[in-house]
Structure 1
């Protein structure tokens, strides 16, 4: 079925047929699917870099010194993180020891909403009201 419809124009505005060929005006094939694939592959090929090869020991010594400095910096960062975690843990313990105080809202709408009010009402029992009604209560 796909081979039979290989040259039919695809639905929509993609300008390709079912085989992947690019179509021009009038439905004529401008580029075949294999040409399109080759062009795409040519755009993304790996190009080797022409960099000089390191031969001197000076550059290696400098690289090693930089690596050692990076290692010591990483160790220092780890120590700083550990110290910060200890300080945070101590602060959390002290915060847990202190009693929490709640502030009451003051003035305006907050005071009106937070004002203590008591509403008294009698509870209505639904059973006596149901007994007074006439008719079928349950089936």
Structure 2
């Protein structure tokens, strides 16, 4: 039986990122979008994601990229895929961490997803004023 992690460290972030993307790569809804975008660059992608989550969760400053620009260039990205991404992310973290830590991580992930969805899908011309 797996003993849940009781703290967020570089090592537990590594386990989270790798465990999560193992699931993504098998997921019927997500795998094609990720595989088409990442191709044979999974090792660099996973390293980048470890730096990203280290920066988010440990304020380590390791990540220096622009997630919005990266995601805007992903072919096949759709709003509903974020729901599945968040669902798999929550399942992964509930398995790996104590419920309190999993909730903390999920809260961060949901804010990031909201920000990305606004940046990618928001179209001011679709907003009807006064209706």
TM-score by length of 2: 0.21
Higher relative contact order at CA 8 Å, sep ≥6: structure 1 or structure 2? 2
